[in-house]
Amino acid sequence: MSYILEAENLTYAFPQKTLFKNFDLKIKKGEWIVFIGNNGSGKTTLLKILAGVIPVQTGSLSLSSTSLQKAYVGQLDFSHYDRFPATALEVVMSAYTAPLGFFKNPSASQKAEAIQLLKDLGLEDAIHQQLGQLSGGQRQRVFIAKALLIKPDLLFLDEPNSALDSNFTLNLFKRLKSYQAQGMTLVMVTHDLALGQTVADRILCVEEQNVLWLDEKAITEELAHRHHHTGGYDHVV
């Protein structure tokens, strides 16, 4: 079996706290993995390590190919962009910068693709608006659109629906499911176990220095414990 991402013996610790120890993870191409866990459990750190945003402390991390396209959408500091003079389209189009390399500019069809993606994510009115004039949910969708535009092989998402209402969440996850069907691999952090159960192929729980795979029974028990409603995302899949 070949894997798109393999992590072995990952350990990550702060001076006063170990987040996880000797953790192994193998992700198949086209899988959707979800991390859940309490605040401060280390799931965002784990996601960042796998995404290559922060370096591995101990252990090893390898991808099936060095030419894999990766994209990472972290938790956004929305206020950071309040006064930045860039439209939603300019932000999304900047995703082409690295793939195109020096001296090439996006073509008309690539621009049309970016506009279509923004429309698909319900942002048709925001295309030419300055980022600072958009709501938190709109900004979150702009950054997701930026990540999706280059159709990455591996997409890392940290609570991608934290600022979205249920309609846009449904729309977004339907779209992500269709990308998954085309071969995209997704690794996502969420607090919403019900949503995780609906979209994920496997769910990992990061808790108290342990990283555990949750089976159906454990998920059902946990959901009952949390009094979550599981019916809300039925039509995502």
Partner 1 sequence: MIMLFDYVFMQRALWVGLLIALISPLIGQTLVLKRLSMVSDAVAHTTLAGVAIGIIVGINPMISALIASLLGVYLVDILRKRLPQYAEVAVAILMAIGIGLAGTLSSFIPDTNRFSAFLFGSIVSTSASEVIWISGIALFVLLSYSLFYKEIFALTFDEESAQYAGVKIKFVNFLVMLMLSLTLSIAAKTVGSLILSSLLILPVATALQLSLSYRKTLIWSVLFSVISMLGGLILSFYFGIKPGGAVVLLAVAQYLLLLPIQRRQH
Dig out the tokens for 130 from the structure.
């300055």
Any contact of residue 22 with partner 1 (CB under 8 A)? no
Choose between 105 and 220: whose C-beta lies nearer to partner 1: 105
Q: Nearest approach, Cβ of 107 to partner 1 (angstroms)?
A: 13
Choose between 144 and 214: whose C-beta lies nearer to partner 1: 144
Any contact of residue 84 with partner 1 (CB under 8 A)? yes
Any contact of residue 52 with partner 1 (CB under 8 A)? yes
From CA 183, how far away is CA 25, in angstroms rounded?
19
Any contact of residue 91 with partner 1 (CB under 8 A)? yes
- Token pair 């060095």: residue: 66
- Token pair 């949910």: residue: 137
Identify the residue among 2, 83, 109, 227 touching partner 1 (CB under 8 A): 83
Scanning 57-65, 89-97, 184-192, 225-233 for contacts with partner 1 by CB under 8 A, the matching segment is 89-97
CA distances (Å), origin 230, targets 47, 134, 222: 25, 31, 12
Any contact of residue 94 with partner 1 (CB under 8 A)? yes
Identify the residue among 61, 68, 100, 236 touching partner 1 (CB under 8 A): 100
Helix (H), strand (E), coil (C) string for 125-162: HHCCCEHHHCCHHHHHHHHHHHHHHCCCCEEEEECCCC
Any contact of residue 205 with partner 1 (CB under 8 A)? no
Residues 6 or more apart whose CB falls under 8 angstroms from that of 180 comprise: 30, 32, 186
Dig out the tokens for 21 from the structure.
């120890």
Are 34 and 199 in contact by the 8 Å Cβ rule? The answer is yes
Identify the residue among 97, 107, 135, 178 touching partner 1 (CB under 8 A): 97
- What pairs with residue 176 in β-bridges? none
Any contact of residue 98 with partner 1 (CB under 8 A)? yes
Q: Nearest approach, Cβ of 178 to partner 1 (angstroms)?
A: 23
From CA 165, how far away is CA 172, in angstroms rounded?
11
Q: Nearest approach, Cβ of 132 to partner 1 (angstroms)?
A: 7
Query: Which region, left, alpha or beta, applies to residue 203 given φ > 0 means left and ψ of -120 to 50 means alpha?
Result: beta
Any contact of residue 95 with partner 1 (CB under 8 A)? yes
Any contact of residue 214 with partner 1 (CB under 8 A)? no
Q: Nearest approach, Cβ of 98 to partner 1 (angstroms)?
A: 4
